[in-house]
Amino acid sequence: MMIAFAVESTPTYYISSFMQGHASFLASPSTQRARAIHESRFIMSSTTPCILDRTSDRIESSQPDYPTDDVCASPDIEWDVQTRAIHSGLSPDPTTGAILTPIYQTTTYVQDAVGQDRGFTYSRAGNPTVYALEKQLAALEGVDVPAVAYSSGLAAITALFLAETSAGDTVICSDVVYGGTVRLCKDILSRFGVRAVFVDTSDINAVEQALTDNPQTRIVFIESPANPTLKLTDIQAVATVAHAFGATVAVDNTFLTAALQKPIDLGADIAVYSTTKYIEGHNSTVGGALITKDSLRYELYKHAQKTLGAPQSPWEAWLTIRGLKTLPFRIRQHSIHALEIARWLEADERVATVYYPGLPSFSQHELANRQHINQLHGGMISFEIQGGASAGITLMNNVELCSLAENLGAVETLITHPASMTHASYADEERDRLGITDGLVRLSVGLEHPRDIIADLDRALHIACT
């Protein structure tokens, strides 16, 4: 069924004040139109039509202009990613001139009169510090629509699925993904009539077959590189096939961030992040984000953020803003360190298998070089050592510099046992089939000197293999 709705011309706004910018964004015709579309889901009109195909929820329209209050949005300025990470979406405090975004630690906002606010009314619905982070994330991704920041990465994924699906719909998901995504699909969404099909998305033929077999598919959800095996998906190829079937494509880009991979530029509709990881990068916060260039989807995700009660907090948003400013430098160094350590592991006879996209021996090395920016491949390594599961566990129990913990992407090197930590929700036989064996070690390479990390691993390997 095809539903038509009206599209009016929308002016471009350039507003200097941070607060005025957000108020204008909320009041702009394009935003008001998108909110109305979300609330009714379909609007019939005989005026200039734009088509919303309800068989797929894909919107066939050009994107409206957005009000912007940061200089980087000017089409005359194209800053490098390092500059955008520091300046884009951010502006000095309009009251004091403070160069850092203030922490607006407030629940509510005094209104000038009934029906007259200054762009914010209640912090569950919107907060100036959080909004600054949302603009900063969008600028790094290269889109004009603000991101939507959530209380965790899993909250962002939950909002995505609830906003995009209804009972009777299907989600096609990469077979190797974060364990929390699997729990969400199998334990929660299934209870509300949303079916999840797990597919090897590195195999484009398998993706096409799954779409053919599941015509009610609303989303193809990709994780690339996949956690923890680092298996890659050709995002552009999957997006082309999925869009031909009317499905939306979302990519969990947590392992690389927009500094090393741009899912939307590769054809995806949504980039998904746990900002807890590389984006904040200091083991200080928990957060997540959805990013799209589609104004209508933005409104869906913003409504889900408010209705589910899962916004990012101002304090954690401020810490994430601070961390994001150094992301391009940090993740480049993470990548350099990881490659050096992966080469050392691969050359050590005590190590059975090493998975790192930057190694020529990696089965998808060519795709990695094509898809990852500047042929940098992030800071994540997975490996198995001789002696199997017991030796791998002994290794993890005897590191000293590396920390045994459930996180990644921080300045500290973290070592993780996926089978008992991040992917414990998988059945044993399923984990083995996917390569998440009891002996698999996941290493999030930090910013310590590689020589010191190698020395720590060498000592622990000596204990594990003797």
Active site residues: 124, 178, 252, 277
In terms of Cα–Cα distance, which of 400, 442, 421, 408 is closest to 278?
Answer: 408
Rounding to the nearest 10 degrees, give the CA dihedral for residues 279, 285, 288, 292. Answer: -40
Q: Give the whole-angstrom CA distance, residue 194 versus residue 217.
A: 10
State CA 5 to chain mean position distance: 30
**Residue 290 in 3-state DSSP?**
strand
Task: Please report, in angstroms and rounded to a whole number, the separation of the first and last CA atoms in the chain.
Answer: 67
Residues 6+ apart with CB under 8 A from 213: none
Q: Which two tokens stand for residue 332?
A: 């480049």
Q: How far is CA 93 from the centre of its chain?
A: 28
Cα 404–Cα 406–Cα 409 angle in degrees, nearest 5: 95
CA 106 – CA 124 distance, rounded (Å): 10
How far, rounded to the nearest angstrom, does the alpha carbon of residue 231 sit from its chain's CA centroid?
A: 17
Tokens 């459930």 — which residue?
406
DSSP state of 68: B
Reported as type and span, the H/E element at residue 251 is strand 248-252
Task: Name the residue with tokens 């920016």.
Answer: 373
